[in-house]
Structure 1
């Protein structure tokens, strides 16, 4: 499940992912991301993972298609989690985007928020 957090404002989208992300999550998310690109040209994304298990296949495909098409539309991505694979996933993203991408441990949420807003 993907929850849009109240910190979402301007070109910042703040989300919390739990469990598995589904196609329905992306059906709600992608129009918001496209709107940010249209209005602000660049997206700053705070992506918090709490009990995150990954993506359902159709959701992964929608995410991948959007990310490939909009690879240069991201300014910053703050990934917040507590699992080693989440940190590796953050490192794997870096070559595929022009955005600054940074991983923060869950205990460093405040630093992640400050960084994404700077």
Structure 2
């Protein structure tokens, strides 16, 4: 039996909106039927790029074709709201996926092979990231 699951955490402060996700197994369209309304509701009304996302994809095995399309649509719909997306994984294809996501996301998407480094990058102040 293959493991499959999602864990999504959403945290909001006055100046920061933080989403964390842990993905296990292969994402499919049904996963996006859960993810999309959560993102839509959580990000409704945000005009500024104040959202940081940590994605633990270390146990992600891949996407179905329809899930890739769903992910693309979700990213486009909220692209202006993302400041940084840290994509933590263990596979070369995930690094390439993060690079491609940069083309379609208003914020910065970066792949990390280490979760602590990914979180540290997200926690840098917005001013520090603008000076890079």
TM bin (shorter chain)? 0.7 to 0.9
CA deviation map 1:4-27 (0-9, x unaligned)? 24xx31121101112111222212
Structure with a larger share of its residues in helix: 1
**Normalised by the size of structure 2, how large is the TM-score?**
0.75
Q: Report SS of the residue matched to 1:26.
A: helix
Q: TM-score, normalised by structure 1?
A: 0.82
State how many pairs are aligned. 114
Cα displacement string for residues 38-89 of structure 1 (whole angstroms, at most 9, x for unaligned residues): 2544431111112312212332222122222222221110000111111111
User: Does 2:112 correspond to 1:110?
Assistant: no
Which aligned segments of 4 or more residues in structure 1 are displaced greater than 4 angstroms? none
**Gap regions ≥5 residues in structure 1:** none
2:61 is aligned with 1:53: yes
